[in-house]
A and B are shown apart, each in its own frame.
Chain A
């Protein structure tokens, strides 16, 4: 059981919630996620990255987009309501170190999980360049928060309604062409965006971390539903990840697995993916 302490609408379909979870707040590190259920008996388990935590208040922040039944139900809850099932922090924390120059790329809702990682990278002494992007101005989130962390800050929108009219891969490519090139990139966002970010950095040999949000059931390594092909291995995202070397991840397989239940639950999220595939393929 976890009480909703605060709820805020960030954009058309994106919400932020602060949840009462003192133990998770204390233990969590950048890169980790929680699993929650809106209904204990018949609900679905949904993984969400921890966007922030406040140890004093004993709270964690989640940011989510309404894409299906469970997130619709979650968005319908209000301050003071209880979330019956909340478990975490899950997954391996991000390996934080002073790498030199780190480019953090966040697409859409992916900016939320990127936030604590960018923060930790900054604290570790890295020069942090942040690129955030969304389809349009209304869908941009956490701009101020990210700007505060960034040494260099780039905003793009697909339709040019704000910042640069570009996909995030464009400025990423330009950064890779600089000398010295960045020491590392982290890309978090829709799978297709991560796939193309990895493709963008590959020729420049810039190590690129991606954070995968696969289908999950337990989140503790018990079911294998979250598995992905990474290089020659099968990895379980919930215990081996969620972060992997983007150059090794088989994104096409991951995307088809994300659509496993498509005939059963048609979500706006899927249409979104289709659109992004087309945009990005057109851009390449």
Chain B
């Protein structure tokens, strides 16, 4: 959200840093509070409307150090308490301020496996940065220590050195673990289980790995190169990958255990079933789920028009329904694919939007128009069955609902029509029924999410689950957290097996 160029930001940072380093006395709290929050260098807001390059370009060393110096090293670590995986935030930040980047990287990696990803996509403003003392004192969450950007900086720094430390792998145990799905949940389980010396196979339905991080989140937020890097690390420590393999169809889940000799299975198949509005005209040509639109553009590379065989709709006027990250990604992708007008239509107000604040800001800069307190009522088609307009209703906020957010209430008679040729529905995902349909033993709740206990164990012995398939569509970090817990349980069960076998012999 900066309007200074990359060079201007860095020039300022260099000068200030020099000044602070040359000071005689150590920095006091007061001095730290005076250091301005470092802006994120970003790609020009007009240029980026035509490419898939990353929008946020990352801190330079000077900017990172300055930002790290803003941290007060609080005794009561409110930031850590709000981190789903409890990274020692002041710990790694201090290493940055001291210029010891390797120690900073090691500190984060003690608990988080994918820092270059989380640093980019975590909703920091409602997690670690929400209650940061600096942000509180300055009465602005945007002025909190930029923990996410620092996390990203450290991870990118390590990647750039070209020698990412491989996790240590214990001697082979001869035990085999199958992981279904290569999203963040599955990748974390793979790493943690492999480290204990067990053989790990990841089964992935798609031809490429990474789950939503690959097919959903666009390159301009999370470059593929980063996911490739993380997967490469897993490959190097001996994790086996089987792509184009749909568990439940290519092989039944129970067969992995009963016929193929796996000792435990982790199901991390994600949310993946797009929801629709159930309104008239939703099946017209030109109405897409965000999943389809983004998968075509990202995974199937339709953004490379003329090169990729997968086509993408030629949209000029696009309405995106929804207010989450998925809606932002779809809207911003539409801009990059050449749409002239992109509207985001959301039932509530900006305050209730679940999307990361940074993405909403970026979307606005890219010329996307937000229509709050509105929703689609029906979609009109032309004689060929293609979208030509959408009728909307206006809403006002009423009483709070179960989620604590004020419920939007329709204003009767407020209908109006907007001209659009494309409608992208991004109102959420249900759970993918493929595994549960083909594995009747596995219990699911009424929304189709797999039931697990506090150890991520399902109702079937030796089958564990986690991530979006358990929680519903959530976040990368929560999926990872579940993966970590599942891996612990799996490692424990396998350790018990090994112990029993040793006794018997």
Are A45 and B300 in contact, with the CB atoms below 8 A?
yes
Q: Chain A nearest CB: distance from B215 CB in Å?
A: 8
- Cβ < 8 Å to B, chain A residues 233-263: 234, 239, 250, 252-253, 256-257, 259-261, 263
Q: Chain B nearest CB: distance from A263 CB in Å?
A: 7
Chain B residues with CB below 8 A from A87, complex form: 205, 207, 244-246, 250
Chain B residues with CB below 8 A from A223, complex form: 274, 289, 291-292, 295
- Cβ < 8 Å to A, chain B residues 340-398: 384-386
Number of A-B contacts (CB under 8 A): 118
Chain A residues with CB below 8 A from B286, complex form: 260
A41 within 8 A of B: yes
Q: Chain B nearest CB: distance from A36 CB in Å?
A: 9
Q: Chain A nearest CB: distance from B216 CB in Å?
A: 9
Are B249 and A27 in contact, with the CB atoms below 8 A?
yes
B33 within 8 A of A: no
Among A85, A89, A218, A239: residue with most chain B CB under 10 A? A218
Are A45 and B310 in contact, with the CB atoms below 8 A?
yes
A221 within 8 A of B: yes
Are B295 and A217 in contact, with the CB atoms below 8 A?
yes
If A69-B309, A222-B273, A239-B434 touch, does A88 touch B289 (CB 8 Å cutoff)? no
Are A42 and B308 in contact, with the CB atoms below 8 A?
yes
B314 within 8 A of A: yes
Name the residue of chain A whose CB is nearest to the CB of B205: A220
Task: Mark the stretch among A121-129, A174-182, A224-232, A272-280 that contacts chain B.
Answer: A224-232
B432 within 8 A of A: yes
B207: contacting residue among A85, A88, A250, CB under 8 A = A85
A40 within 8 A of B: yes
Are B249 and A89 in contact, with the CB atoms below 8 A?
yes
- Cβ < 8 Å to A, chain B residues 86-138: none
If A217-B292, A227-B283 touch, does A253 touch B274 (CB 8 Å cutoff)? no
Cα(A65)–Cα(B244), bound, Å: 23
Cα(A88)–Cα(B289), bound, Å: 23
A205 within 8 A of B: no
Are B289 and A85 in contact, with the CB atoms below 8 A?
no
Chain B window 237-275, contacts with chain A (Cβ cutoff 8 Å), 1 for yes, 0 for no: 000000011100111100000000000000000001110
Name the residue of chain A whose CB is nearest to the CB of B255: A27
Are A42 and B295 in contact, with the CB atoms below 8 A?
no
A37 within 8 A of B: yes
Cα(A45)–Cα(B309), bound, Å: 9
Interface residues on A, range: 35 or more
Are B307 and A224 in contact, with the CB atoms below 8 A?
no
Tally of contact residues, B, Cβ under 8 A:
44
Are B274 and A88 in contact, with the CB atoms below 8 A?
no
Are B432 and A225 in contact, with the CB atoms below 8 A?
no
Name the residue of chain B whose CB is nearest to the CB of A86: B244
Q: Chain A nearest CB: distance from B40 CB in Å?
A: 31
Chain A window 73-93, contacts with chain B (Cβ cutoff 8 Å), 1 for yes, 0 for no: 000000000001111111000
Q: Chain A nearest CB: distance from B22 CB in Å?
A: 52
Q: Chain A nearest CB: distance from B304 CB in Å?
A: 7
Cα(A228)–Cα(B283), bound, Å: 7
Chain B residues with CB below 8 A from A252, complex form: 385
Are A89 and B385 in contact, with the CB atoms below 8 A?
no
Are B250 and A89 in contact, with the CB atoms below 8 A?
yes
Chain A residues with CB below 8 A from B207, complex form: 37, 40, 84-85, 87
Cα(A222)–Cα(B252), bound, Å: 19
Are B434 and A23 in contact, with the CB atoms below 8 A?
no
Are A23 and B251 in contact, with the CB atoms below 8 A?
yes
B276: contacting residue among A41, A90, A224, CB under 8 A = A224
Q: Chain B nearest CB: distance from A88 CB in Å?
A: 7
Chain A residues with CB below 8 A from B385, complex form: 252-253, 256-257
Cα(A217)–Cα(B290), bound, Å: 13
Chain A residues with CB below 8 A from B274, complex form: 222-224
Cα(A257)–Cα(B301), bound, Å: 21
Instruction: Name A residues whose Cβ lies closer than 8 Å to a Cβ of B.
Output: 23-24, 27, 37, 39-45, 69-70, 84-90, 217-218, 220-225, 227-229, 234, 239, 250, 252-253, 256-257, 259-261, 263-265
Q: List 13 A-B contacts (CB under 8 A).
A: A44-B311, A45-B310, A86-B244, A88-B246, A88-B250, A217-B292, A221-B433, A222-B291, A222-B295, A224-B292, A239-B434, A250-B283, A264-B311
Instruction: Name B residues whose Cβ lies closer than 8 Å to a Cβ of A.
Output: 205-207, 215, 244-246, 249-252, 272-274, 276, 278, 282-286, 288-289, 291-292, 295-296, 300-301, 304, 307-311, 313-314, 384-386, 432-434, 437
